[in-house]
Structure 1
Amino acid sequence: MNKHIIYLAAGNSRRFGSNKLLHIFHGKPLYQYGLDMVFKFCKKRQDCSLLVISQYSEILQYARTKGIHTADSPDSRKGMSYTVKRAVQALGNIAEEDYIMFVVADQPYLTEKTLERLADQAAPDVETISAIYKGIPGNPTLFSARLIPELMELQGDEGGRKVIRRHACIYVEVEDKKELYDIDEKRQVSPD
């Protein structure tokens, strides 16, 4: 049972005012924190692969220099569903017992430990898995490959939460609320 990790780095940053993923955050572009961590995580596990999806050439180029598979998603500006569907298409045919994990690129404090805990919950009878902190669900999320048809039916700015609401979900509590903190506005510099 493999976990196909999709690193979502294609957002439009409407609330941020400019491309937040390329914004320098504590010394490097925001997207690199999560991408470097996920890349390191995948190198340690034989059951994980990584795909970076983005509409930004700088991010795709950085991923390719590391030997990471990439997918260009020019339609991402139309909404989240376009990014999700393009990413799933880029994976190609995957086994029904596999899982897709979506990791967003604007969570700089996410840890390998949380990824491991989420990935280790995958089992034949599990449909969806999500990170959570004190009752508030967040990302990353995992979906059984059996749910690919539902992911491919998403429209506009719908994301995977719509699919999660229809199915049993295992929630994995993160140890620190900072892990689920995502940066949406320039004034955000710390989760405190």
Structure 2
Amino acid sequence: MACKHGLALVMAAGASRRFGHEDKRMAKVGGMSLLARSWRNAAAGFGQALLAAKPGDDLGLLDLDNITPESVYYCQQPQLGLGSNIAQAVDYIHQHFAADSFDFLAVVLADMPLIKVATLETLAAAGAVDKIVRPSWQGRPGHPVLFGRQFWPQLRQLQGDQGGVGVLQANPQSVQEIALEDAAVCWDIDTPEALQQAEKQVAKNS
């Protein structure tokens, strides 16, 4: 059962330039959009989720399970990059939730929709206020990364497009890496070719 002490932050405000002109978030794999899959799995794996969306996104068009206006933060300057978007979202969480509402924040990338719910539950079980938890597959570090509440002030200082890597580098003693058998923790779908491979994988497993 998913731990209730964590919040999944589903990052879906990027430009996705490598994917072309199509809105990558709405590209289908196994009959469901990348974003819908990522949102569904994040909510199931962590118990509660917040979507970091683009200004002007229509929730009806995004077609996400159990989404409410309270479950969405619209990034004010999404063009500044992933790190900046994380900082904006964490600042929003700081302002709108009680300080001790969550022990950790799981930064979930919307273009990694094939991660198993069981994998997310394993990571959630390891989450804690004073730890950074990261999955790996065959020695390769993956996502999502869980940042304990102790590190949120550092997340709020992020800038640019490097995500939370700077926080991991600044706190190596607090990082717990969990080796998993789920290759999807290292599989982001950022090109049409990668989408085709993902579709084949879903068809193979169905």
TM-score (norm 2): 0.80
Consecutive unaligned residues in structure 2, runs of 5 or more: 202-206
Query: What RMSD over aligned residues (CA atoms) do the two structures have, in Å?
Result: 2.4
TM-aligned CA deviation for residue 49 of structure 1: 2.3
Unaligned runs of 5+ residues in structure 1 are 43-47
| SS across alignment from 2:17 | coil
Deviations 1:122-155 (A, max 9, x none): 245x420011111211111011111112111111
Moved over 6 A (4+): none
Q: Aligned match of 2:28 in 24, 30, 33? A: 24
Matched, 1:182 2:184: no
CA deviations on 1:27-80 (whole Å, 9 max, x unpaired) are: 2321111111222334xxxxx421111106145863485336110114112211
Cα separation, 1, equivalents of 2:184 and 2:150: 31
Q: Conserved in 2, the CA contact under 8 Å of 1:96 and 1:146?
A: no
SS at 2:170 equivalent: coil
Give the structure with the higher percent helix: 2
Q: Which residue of 2 aligns with 1:170?
A: 176
Tell me whether 1:158 sits opposite 2:162 in the alignment.
Answer: yes
Partner of 1:45: none
Tell me what 2:83 maps to.
81
Question: Which SS does the other structure have where 1:110 is aligned?
Answer: coil
- Taking the aligned partners of 1:90 and 1:152, their CA distance within structure 2 comes to 10
Identity across matched positions, percent: 25
Equivalent of 2:141 in 117, 137, 149: 137
Residue pair 1:64, 1:70 contacting (<8 A) in 2 also: no
Question: What are the within-5 Å matches in structure 2 for residues 65-80 of structure 1?
Answer: 66-67=67-68, 69-80=71-82
Larger relative strand fraction: 1
Question: Hey, what's the Cα distance between the residues in 2 that align with 1:138 and 1:172?
Answer: 10
The answer (yes or no) to whether the contact 2:25–2:33 under 8 Å persists in 1 is yes
